[in-house]
Each structure stands twice: as structure tokens, then as C-alpha cells.
Amino acid sequence: MSLILDILLWAVVIACFVISFVGLVYPIIPSVVMIWVGVLIYHFGINGDELSWLSWTTFVVLTILLFLADYLANLHFVDKAGGSKWGMRAATIGLIVGSFVIPPFGVIVVPFALVLIAEILQKKTFDESFKVALATLIAFLSGTFAKGIIQLIMIVVFGLDVVF
């Protein structure tokens, strides 16, 4: 019975890790939370003594870096392009709405369009508004890339600690 339970729990852990990468395309799925759920299921369900303090510390530091990567990418690109608070709000709403509209391309198209409209409504020229919308798109893509790398590192650290 224990072997079947272990196999089932391992399947859930792996599913959590896979779903974390789906969350990169569908921002409504909390990617890093899924990794933590997988790690905690392993820790409390399979082997509570396996993961070292170094792994736990790495998970915490990389989780903080993951949030910073997303925030700093947006801050850097959108602020540099002259984006307004309304543009940032439009991007956030666009990510949520875009997750449901034309998936997975909606998370690119909808925020871009909403930021463009929001910036035009802020009395910016079309060129200025387009520049901010493009910067928002670049921020999203670069933040997503950085988060994907960080998530991969978290999973590799987990795997190395479990195997060795």
C-alpha cells in the first residue's frame, strides 16, 4: 500500500512542477506556489528528512528572486518607456482577461491592446502609446523568461537533493 501511495504522491509532485510551467503562459495559475505545493507534498508525504537546509534556503531565495524578476522587468521597461499608472493597471487587467481570451495568445494580445488604449486615453500620441504597449509586452516576455529559468533551477535543486 505504501508503494502505491508513494507513486501517487510522486505523480502529484511531478504534476505540480509541470503545472508551474503552464502558469508562465496562464498567469492565473500561481507558478511558484505550484512548485512549493510539490515540494511540500514530497516533504510531508514521501520523505520529511530528505531535503537539506540548503535546498530550503535556495527555494526561499529563488522565490523572492522570482517575484523580483517579474516586478523589476515591468518597472524597468514600462517606466523607461514612460508608461502611466493607468497603463500598468491596464496591463494587469489584460493579463487576467487575456488568460481566458484566445489562450495562450491572449496574455500577449489583450494586455498590449489595453495598454495602447489606456495610454492613448492619457492624451499620449499613438507612437508614445505604442512604445509603452511594446515595452509592456517586452517586460512580460522577459519576466516570464526569467521566471521560467528560476523555476527550472528550483526544480533541479529539488531533484538533486532528492537523488543525492
Q: What is the pLDDT along the chain (164 residues), one digit of tens a residue?
A: 688 999 999 999 999 999 999 998 888 888 999 999 999 999 999 998 889 999 999 999 999 988 887 777 777 777 788 888 888 888 888 888 888 887 778 888 999 999 999 999 988 999 999 999 999 898 888 888 989 999 999 999 999 999 98
pLDDT in tens, 90-113: 888 888 888 888 777 888 899 999
b/e for 100-131, b at 16 or more Cβ within 10 A?
Answer: eeeeeebbbebbbebbbbbbbebebeeebbbb
pLDDT score, position 1? 60
Q: What angle do CA 45, 51, 54 make, to 5 degrees?
A: 150
| Angle between helices 2-25 and 126-163 in degrees, nearest 10 | 160
Q: C-alpha 61: how far from its chain's center? A: 15
Return d(Cα 87, Cα 89) in angstroms, integer.
5
pLDDT score, position 62? 95
Phi, psi of 84 (to 5 degrees): -95, 170
3-state helix/strand/coil string of 126-162 = HHHHHHHHHHHHHHHHHHHHHHHHHHHHHHHHHHHHH
pLDDT score, position 43? 95
Q: C-alpha 14: how far from its chain's center? A: 18
